[in-house]
Structure 1
Amino acid sequence: MSDSPMTVISAKPVVLPAPERGEDLQVRVSAPATGGDLPVLVFSHGFGWSMNGYAPLADHWAARGFVVIQPTHLDSRTLGIPHEDPRTPRIWRIRIEDLTRVLDGLDVLEAAVPGLAGRLDRSRVAVAGHSWGAQTASALLGARVLGPDGVPGDDMTDPRVRAGVLLALTGLGDDLTPFAVENLPFLRPSFDTMTAPALVVAGDNDQSHLSTRGPDWFTDPYTYSPGPKSLLTLFGAEHSLGGIPGYEVAETTDESPARVALVQRLTTAFLRSALFPGDTEWKTAVTALENDPAPLGSLLSK
């Protein structure tokens, strides 16, 4: 597949009714203007963001052949739900249900975008997410949340999902800060059953205020999950991984267009190879990184 971008069409908000959620689910759909048998990529945003964020990734993926679907979760600043809302303790679960609802609603989403009907390949579905969104996406790949007794909670794996990209996904819950222990009980993952193929992307300068461990905390999803997995560690990257949430946004502390470009290239190549057996884009990208005299990151696979 050539790397020249395709023209992208985008529709928002597409609304999926969700009466028990308290707010209907608003979604943005971006897709190539032409072509058929398009793979589907559902993206979960980080805390506070919305369907309008992450343009550097969503635009790139859509321009290279993916139908990118971005739901707005209940924690989005665009909705302004107060912390004392009774849904707050369950938002982490509602987020996961949002992704499942998107997959259940593909017919509605397809019909809402002019010219998209009949062009989706429902056999090639992947999920991706950043930060809290990566945790949300990981549940559909097989990750679980440990209860207070240390027993894994509900299995929310979705068999429709064939692969994932997990960007700045938090690690095990053994060394959480007191704030995280008190306020974020869902930050106790088990990756033992996360069997789907996934690319984990971590920054080696990502120091979280939720864990007393260093940046290696973000490599746990790779270390403690079964293969097939790959780990891209970005040199010098902090939590925004060079600026993936958007162009020139305030919370990007490590702005690096070159780093973002590497994330764009490698995530695209990984997803294409995971969804299209025989595709060589990933092997080509891996070789290019290994042969780079001044690489921006390193790669492990198992």
Structure 2
Amino acid sequence: MNDKTLPIDTVGPPTPVLSVAPVVLPAPDRAVDLQVRVSAPVTGGDLPVILLSHGQGYSHHLSSLDGYAPLAGYWAAHGFVVIQPTHLSSTTLRLDPGTPGAPLYWRSRAEDMRRVLDGLDLIEDAVPQLRGRLDRSRVAVAGHSMGGHTASLLLGARLTDPDDGAEVTLADPRIRAGVLLAAPGRGGDALTPAVAEGLPFLLTTDFSTMTTPTLVVAGDQDESTHLTVRGAQWHTDPYLLAPGRKSLLTLFGAEHGLGGISGYDVAETTDENPERVAAVQRLTWAYLRSELYPGDRAWQAACDALAAGPDPLGRVDSK
């Protein structure tokens, strides 16, 4: 066994997965209807749900329902139903740059996830293999990069709308836990001047109200110099500045792609590392499993396995 691989017995064996896309949710108040991918184990009932929000990278299709196969496939093979929307920010939609909310559609992204939860009946109708198999009381949200910002809003973070100065609260009480992967940190003087001017919604991010249990995953080499002047530490802000039960997984040597979570063998991954991806898969799964099922020891077992090796891939801190 590779010393940098978590032992496989921290999780059960994978099961076959069904994946259906696009499932279309009517959205008359949106620029286009909402398309999602649904991935689930082919067997089992009372399945918990993960909403997975894509980032905004260079590749066209990773920023859509077609991205993040390393995470969606793994989570589904180990007992979750994973629902991935194509947000309006996806270049696959080729929207007019003048569409309200462009270019990143920060508010619409969070509303997409709430629309998914409101439309679970429609999803079950479109994917009859799922009918009656969802546990709607156990819902989590996860997001990478800009998707992490989306997830943080659903978990309770707030901001001030730069267009009208109103405080925006988009938390959804149906979401019981979250995972933020290389998510943006605080605003203000932590941002580069270009980002502060071009993406002013990031200026006022407030984590002090993000009370939902959350795992923050950050690479210690994720400098993100196009976004922040604070270096890799910026991505730990959602852990450091949010109250309540939080955990931080710091991945040693990891850059923004966290080893390659957005897709298999993709060119934009600058730190490709299969063992790192495997660690992210297993630790995020274990965290959500234990948060959604109190008393489940998967998270503790995964943390113990991470710390046990002679050359660990990372470190977990909790508060």
TM bracket (short chain): over 0.9
- Following superposition, the deviation at residue 178 of structure 1 comes to 1.5
Q: Work out whether 1:180 is the aligned partner of 2:195.
A: yes
Partner of 2:145: 131
AA aligned to 2:182 is A
Encode CA deviations 1:72-116: one digit per residue, 9 max, x unaligned.
Answer: 001112111243333316711000100000000011112211311
Partner of 1:264: 281
Q: Work out whether 1:204 is the aligned partner of 2:220.
A: yes
Alpha-carbon distance between aligned partners in 1 of 2:268 and 2:302, rounded to the nearest angstrom: 29
Q: Is the 8 A contact 1:144 1:152 kept in 2?
A: no
Alpha-carbon distance between aligned partners in 2 of 1:22 and 1:74, rounded to the nearest angstrom: 8
Q: Is the 8 A contact 2:88 2:104 kept in 1?
A: no
Partner of 2:206: 190
Alpha-carbon distance between aligned partners in 2 of 1:152 and 1:232, rounded to the nearest angstrom: 33
The normalised TM-score by structure 1 is: 0.96
3-state secondary structure, aligned to 1:140: helix
3-state secondary structure, aligned to 1:199: strand
Partner of 1:153: 167
3-state secondary structure, aligned to 2:130: coil
* Residues paired across the two proteins, number: 301
Q: How does 1:85-104 map to 2 (within 5 A)?
A: 85-88=99-102, 91-104=105-118
Task: State the identity %.
Answer: 64
Alpha-carbon distance between aligned partners in 1 of 2:297 and 2:21, rounded to the nearest angstrom: 33
3-state secondary structure, aligned to 2:283: helix
AA aligned to 1:270 is Y
Alpha-carbon distance between aligned partners in 2 of 1:50 and 1:126, rounded to the nearest angstrom: 19
* Structure possessing the higher relative contact order (Cα contacts under 8 Å, 6 or more residues apart): 2
Partner of 1:47: 56
AA aligned to 2:72 is A
Encode CA deviations 1:155-179: one digit per residue, 9 max, x unaligned.
Answer: 1110100000000011111221111
Partner of 1:20: 29
Q: Work out whether 1:238 is the aligned partner of 2:249.
A: no
- Following superposition, the deviation at residue 18 of structure 1 comes to 0.6
- Following superposition, the deviation at residue 205 of structure 1 comes to 0.4
Encode CA deviations 1:94-152: one digit per residue, 9 max, x unaligned.
Answer: 00100000000011112211311000000000000000001101111100113569x88
Q: Is the 8 A contact 2:161 2:168 kept in 1?
A: no
Q: Is the 8 A contact 1:9 1:33 kept in 2?
A: yes
Partner of 2:78: 64
The normalised TM-score by structure 2 is: 0.91
Q: How does 1:96-115 map to 2 (within 5 A)?
A: 96-115=110-129
Alpha carbons of 1:291 and 1:152: their partners in 2 closer, same or farther (altered >3 Å)? farther
Q: Is the 8 A contact 2:89 2:103 kept in 1?
A: no
Alpha-carbon distance between aligned partners in 2 of 1:242 and 1:185, rounded to the nearest angstrom: 29
Alpha-carbon distance between aligned partners in 2 of 1:105 and 1:158, rounded to the nearest angstrom: 14
Q: Is the 8 A contact 2:56 2:89 kept in 1?
A: yes
* Runs of 4+ residues over 4 Å off in structure 1: none
Q: Is the 8 A contact 1:242 1:254 kept in 2?
A: yes
Alpha-carbon distance between aligned partners in 1 of 2:160 and 2:283, rounded to the nearest angstrom: 31
